[in-house]
Amino acid sequence: MNIAIYGAGSLGTILGAYLTSNGVAVDLISRNIAHIEALKTNGAHITGTVDMTVPVSALLPSEISKKYDVIFLLTKTVDNTEGVSGCVPFLSTGGVICTMQNGLPEMQVAEIIGEERTFGCTIEWGATMLGNGVCELTSEPDSITFGLGSFSNKADITKLNAIKKILESMGTVKIEENFIGTRWSKLLINSSFSGVSSVMGSTFGEAAKNKSSRLCIQRIIKECIDVAKSAGIKIEPVQGKDICKLLDYKSKIKERFSFLIIPVAIRKHRLLKASMLQDLEKGKKSEVDGINGVVCKYGQKYSVPTPYNDMVVEVIHDIEAGKIRPEFQNLSRFKSLA
């Protein structure tokens, strides 16, 4: 099979390095000229919880010369219309796209290439781009897992199993029957930990440790759970842990337990720096509308208040506009919600 990772930033580079090192031929594609040149010259240097350098096949979009049977899509969702359309000429007959993006991108991808050619994958580990050709794995190696599936009953099971086999070269892969529930599990984590840590300019672990930011994380988690319930969506476990059972609450005792367990629940990913924050630090537009903004839209549709998610969207838009920067002081804007 011809395989490509389209949008090989931090996550895509690490995925490509792992696949390559385990004998899976894959092209890493990015519009970042300096990054691609570094990958061509020095290979992919992966640091953090591992340390390895892997020679990889790296290409600019203009250098693509073949059709792909599987394209793993890791571009930002804000670029989806252009990005997915740009992939279409490079798909083989029957070729598929597996989106590994944040939020709920499958519907948008399917509108362009069709439901039967669209698969989705949640990545349950984190990465940071340190420099051209150098990426940091910020999750423990034993926590590298993927949730794989499709929103459509038209999807080709043979292709689904082929994608599973490819990704098993890096970590544990679970085919999810309730893939919308798996997406919501990741959306919950991104909305809470990515959203709050981006607001305050910190890692996941730092956001979970501080009691003020942890309260915001807890409230966002609660909003996500309440919205999903009202929408009839069953949130799936993450790496074997039932998020709702651990973190949802109705009583004061359970609320206190939920608050105390948050740092424990995220400990294997404590070093993770949200891609939203990485974008903000580079002066780029973030994916907040496709993450916290999705929760807000679902909340409006099902009449569930989402004040903490609303505030994350508001603060991050202010950061994008250059009015403020990611810092701890931004948490003061959440005090009126408590």
Q: What are the tens digits of pLDDT across the range 124-174?
A: 899 999 999 999 999 999 999 999 999 887 778 899 999 999 999 999 999
Distance (Å, rounded) from C-alpha 231 to C-alpha 299?
9
CA atoms 266, 11, 184, 225: torsion sign: positive
Percent of residues, the chain, with pLDDT higher than 90? 87
Burial-class residue 285 by CB neighbours within 10 Å (0-12, 13-18, 19+).
middle
Q: What are the tens digits of pLDDT across the range 268-317?
A: 899 999 999 999 999 999 999 999 999 999 999 999 999 999 999 999 99
Give the sheet arrangement for strand 127-131, strand by strand: 52-54, 44-48, 134-137, 127-131
The pTM for the full model equals 0.82
Mean pLDDT of the region 64-86: 90
Q: Is the pLDDT of residue 35 over 80?
A: yes
| Residue-level pLDDT at 210 | 96
The closest of 156, 169, 219 to 192, measured between CA atoms, is 219
Contact 191, 228 (CB under 8 A): no
For 189, phi then psi, to 5°, come to: -65, -45
Burial-class residue 51 by CB neighbours within 10 Å (0-12, 13-18, 19+).
exposed
Q: Give all domains of the chain, ordered by start, each with its CATH number.
A: 3-177 (3.40.50.720), 181-337 (1.10.1040.10)
Inter-helix orientation angle 211-230/292-301, to 10° = 40
Which position has the token pair 């995220």?
Answer: 266
Question: How do beta strands 44-48 and 52-54 pair?
Answer: antiparallel
Confidence of residue 13 (pLDDT cuts 50, 70, 90): very high
Mean pLDDT of the region 190-204: 97
